[in-house]
């Protein structure tokens, strides 16, 4: 028999022609390809190593792309991409003009639904299933969702709706790898985890049925007893009460179990729930030992593993926040820290270690996180919610109604604001200025460097109402960060360079690039510090001294900080030209952060060029 090769798998149709033993060989090769590929480009690793066999089984059993598969979050979809004709494209994964790190409808017909945020898959496949039913189409609809993503309310909203939706084929696969980006938390996760010590139940159930099927009265009694026993031993009752036929748990790395089980569920149709248990980092010992470290690594040597840099890297904004949080908690016993399942990403590991009773990971539940913070604030606590800008969008209603409307004292530390690089449009923190500044009672702060971040965090923490401090992914310009917990006056800007003719108003960490441009233009540079409230007194003074303004922000221009300046001028009856520089009205694809900013004209050269083009008559000649 010829040796099968991953290089000969150009589409799932090629998988469907293989037998079970050949599928196992493909799994070995696919896992190695994922490891080698991610080690060269960076990307998500642990989650992808854990879904190799499941991906193969799904594409072997189901008629994709006619049958729809939706990968929840999507950071475990690399094997799926490789098997659906994108093996060669993995060399440019998450790079400019390369393929996305997440499923993307415009990229492939096999990517049935674009994902990147958690817990959307069941809602999406239910919508697809209803559309298929209405069109009279017989196809399968599969949602693959992790145990971490199952902590979010949206997943249960979809399950609840599916249970009363007739005539649909929906298969939910719970990929139980005990892995979210931070350690999974919550009562539901503990409920699922009990299965690891209770697998005897699944075996005993099957054996009991085989023995008792010849004694109908006893079998009926056993069925009734089983309904009560399930509630103690497995989550079957929970999902079956929602209308799903629960199967599992089964070994998610055993193709001899996966393939026939999926074939049976495909034949059954209707509402099916399959619970598979996988191991994060499967097949690569270093990732198995530390799946969080290998969740989203950069480039590394697989034979050596991830190594600490020989020279200390510049302090990141996330690290600045983490140290500030611990220092402020030491000074104020009312401080509590909250994260929606992003302990590592938000820099809260040390805070949890030092202040475990004041640390709350609420799971992938952004809406709950915001209202939970509001409840704490009602009772005199001082909650600090560390959340990525892109994830605060998911709790916007709660932010308005449960915090801002009641003017509750909650500090929002918005990490990953602005361009996020390789994660692309799905994770971009481009909109927080626009959607926060329009809400009454809100303070919106935009620190220009690492030290300003610490100052403005302290300032917003002491503001007796809702306030946000936004900062980008990665390191800044390397500013020296103070040790104290000093504050600044809310709404007060700082002139960093006095020039003439044109005033550059910068909001946030583009300040360093703007300062270089200001020197070249002999312009005034103002670090605005706050989008809301604006330093209107300074703006009125500058309007008397300058002929034009330029607003600069790493955020959406529409409704952003530049818009706030224009609104101020309109209120005050000031008529002067204003050039708004920021992120355009389009979704910005993945790529290198610096290269994207340069392409958008938001580096020093780009800012200078834009100003000269717009205000050529006001410019000093280039030296």
Of the candidates 53, 226, 366, 450, the residue annotated as catalytic is 366
Positive or negative, the CA dihedral 300, 304, 309, 310 is: negative
- Is residue 77 a contact partner of residue 67, using CB atoms and an 8 Å limit? no
Average pLDDT of the chain?
Answer: 89
pLDDT for the residue numbered 214: 47
Largest CA distance in the chain: 98
Residue 234 confidence class, pLDDT cut points 50, 70, 90: low
**For 343-368, what is the mean pLDDT?**
94
Residue 394 catalytic?
yes
Q: Over 70: is that where the pLDDT of 295 sits?
A: yes
pLDDT for the residue numbered 53: 96
**For 337-341, what is the mean pLDDT?**
94
**For 472-480, what is the mean pLDDT?**
90
Distance of CA 122 to the CA centre of its chain: 18
Alpha helices by DSSP H, listed for 496-557, are 511-521, 536-545
| Max mean pLDDT range (403-417, 421-435, 467-481, 590-604) | 403-417
DSSP structure class, residue 301:
B
Residue 618 confidence class, pLDDT cut points 50, 70, 90: confident
Q: Over 50: is that where the pLDDT of 222 sits?
A: no
Residue 178 and residue 106: Cα distance in Å, rounded? 31
Q: Over 60: is that where the pLDDT of 410 sits?
A: yes
Q: How many residues does the structure list for the chain?
A: 623
**For 399-417, what is the mean pLDDT?**
97
Q: Over 80: is that where the pLDDT of 425 sits?
A: yes
Residue 430 confidence class, pLDDT cut points 50, 70, 90: very high
Q: Over 70: is that where the pLDDT of 531 sits?
A: yes
Residue 81 catalytic?
no
pLDDT digit string, tens, across residues 149-172: 888 889 999 999 999 999 999 999
Q: Over 50: is that where the pLDDT of 623 sits?
A: no
Q: Over 60: is that where the pLDDT of 204 sits?
A: no
Q: Over 50: is that where the pLDDT of 212 sits?
A: no
Q: Over 70: is that where the pLDDT of 194 sits?
A: no
Residue 617 confidence class, pLDDT cut points 50, 70, 90: confident
Residue 503 and residue 209: Cα distance in Å, rounded? 80
Q: Over 60: is that where the pLDDT of 215 sits?
A: no
**For 187-198, what is the mean pLDDT?**
47
Residue 568 and residue 565: Cα distance in Å, rounded? 5
Burial degree of 463 (CB within 10 A; 0-12, 13-18, 19+): middle
What percent of the chain stands above pLDDT 90?
Answer: 76
pLDDT digit string, tens, across residues 108-135: 999 999 998 889 999 999 999 999 999 9
Of the candidates 358, 394, 454, 532, the residue annotated as catalytic is 394
What percent of the chain stands above pLDDT 70?
Answer: 89
**For 250-257, what is the mean pLDDT?**
92
Q: Over 60: is that where the pLDDT of 207 sits?
A: no
**For 598-611, what is the mean pLDDT?**
96
pLDDT for the residue numbered 552: 98
Residue 366 catalytic?
yes
Q: Over 50: is that where the pLDDT of 392 sits?
A: yes
Distance of CA 91 to the CA centre of its chain: 23
pLDDT digit string, tens, across residues 35-74: 999 999 999 999 999 999 999 999 999 999 999 999 999 8
Of the candidates 280, 454, 470, 529, the residue annotated as catalytic is 280
Residue 322 and residue 292: Cα distance in Å, rounded? 18
Residue 513 confidence class, pLDDT cut points 50, 70, 90: very high
Residue 324 and residue 458: Cα distance in Å, rounded? 8
Q: Over 60: is that where the pLDDT of 356 sits?
A: yes
Residue 523 confidence class, pLDDT cut points 50, 70, 90: very high
Query: What long-range pairs does 159-164 form, CB within 8 A, spacing at least 24?
Result: 159/122, 159/239, 159/242, 159/244, 160/242, 161/123, 161/126, 162/122, 162/126, 162/242, 162/243, 162/244, 162/271, 163/242, 163/243, 163/244, 163/271, 164/243
Q: Over 90: is that where the pLDDT of 468 sits?
A: yes
């Amino acid at each position: 028999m010829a040796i099968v090769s991953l290089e000969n798998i150009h589409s799932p149709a090629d998988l469907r022609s293989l037998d079970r033993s050949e599928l196992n060989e493909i799994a070995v090769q696919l896992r190695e390809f994922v490891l080698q590929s991610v080690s060269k480009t960076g990307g998500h690793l642990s989650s992808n190593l854990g879904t190799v066999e499941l991906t193969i089984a799904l594409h072997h059993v189901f008629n994709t792309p006619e049958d729809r598969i939706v990968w929840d979050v999507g950071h475990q979809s690399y094997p799926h991409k490789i098997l659906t004709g994108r093996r060669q494209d993995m060399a440019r994964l998450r790079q400019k003009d390369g393929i996305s790190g997440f499923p993307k409808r415009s990229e492939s017909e096999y990517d049935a639904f674009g994902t990147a945020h958690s817990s959307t898959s069941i809602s999406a496949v239910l919508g697809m299933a209803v559309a298929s039913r209405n069109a009279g189409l017989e196809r399968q609809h599969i949602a693959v969702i992790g145990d971490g993503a199952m902590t979010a309310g949206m997943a249960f909203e979809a399950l609840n709706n599916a249970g009363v939706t007739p005539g649909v084929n929906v298969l939910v696969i719970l990929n139980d790898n005990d892995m979210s980006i931070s350690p999974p938390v919550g009562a539901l996760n503990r409920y699922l985890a009990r299965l690891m010590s209770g697998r005897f139940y699944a075996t005993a159930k099957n054996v009991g049925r085989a023995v008792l099927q010849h004694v109908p009265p006893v079998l009926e009694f056993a069925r009734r007893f089983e309904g009560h026993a399930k509630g103690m031993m497995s989550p079957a009752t929970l999902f079956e009460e929602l209308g799903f036929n629960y199967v599992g748990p089964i070994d998610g790395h055993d193709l001899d179990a996966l393939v026939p089980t999926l074939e049976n569920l495909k034949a059954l149709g209707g509402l099916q729930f399959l619970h598979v248990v996988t191991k994060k980092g499967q097949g690569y010992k270093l990732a198995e030992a530390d799946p969080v470290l290998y969740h989203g690594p950069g480039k590394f040597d697989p034979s050596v593993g991830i190594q600490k840099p020989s020279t200390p890297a510049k302090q990141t904004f996330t690290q600045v926040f983490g140290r500030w949080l611990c220092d402020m908690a030491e000074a104020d016993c009312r401080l509590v820290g909250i994260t929606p399942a992003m302990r590592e990403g938000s820099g809260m590991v040390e805070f949890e270690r030092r202040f475990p009773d004041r640390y709350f990971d609420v799971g992938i539940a952004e809406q709950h996180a915001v209202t939970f913070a509001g409840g704490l604030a009602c009772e005199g606590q001082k909650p600090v919610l560390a959340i990525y800008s892109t994830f605060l969008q998911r709790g916007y209603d709660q932010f308005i109604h449960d915090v801002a409307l009641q003017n509750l004292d909650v500090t929002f530390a918005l990490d990953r604001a602005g361009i996020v690089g390789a994660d692309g449009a799905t994770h971009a923190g481009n909109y927080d200025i626009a959607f926060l500044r329009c809400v009454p009672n809100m303070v919106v702060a935009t620190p220009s460097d690492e030290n300003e971040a610490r100052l403005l965090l302290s300032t917003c923490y002491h503001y007796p109402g809702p306030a946000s401090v936004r900062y980008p992914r990665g390191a800044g310009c390397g500013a020296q960060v103070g040790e104290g917990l000093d504050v600044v006056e809310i709404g007060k800007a700082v002139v960093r360079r006095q020039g003439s003719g044109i005033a550059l108003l910068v909001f946030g960490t583009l300040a360093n690039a703007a300062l270089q441009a200001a020197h070249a233009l002999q312009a005034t540079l103002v670090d605005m510090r706050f989008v809301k409230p604006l330093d209107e007194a300074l703006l009125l003074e500058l309007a008397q001294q300058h002929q034009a303004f330029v607003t600069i922000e790493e955020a959406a221009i529409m409704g952003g900080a530049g818009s706030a300046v224009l609104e101020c001028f309109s209120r005050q009856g000031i008529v002067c030209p204003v050039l708004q520089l920021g992120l355009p009205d389009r979704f910005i694809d993945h790529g290198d952060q610096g290269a994207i900013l340069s392409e958008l004209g938001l580096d020093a050269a780009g800012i200078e060029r834009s100003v000269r083009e717009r205000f050529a008559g006001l410019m000093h000649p280039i030296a």
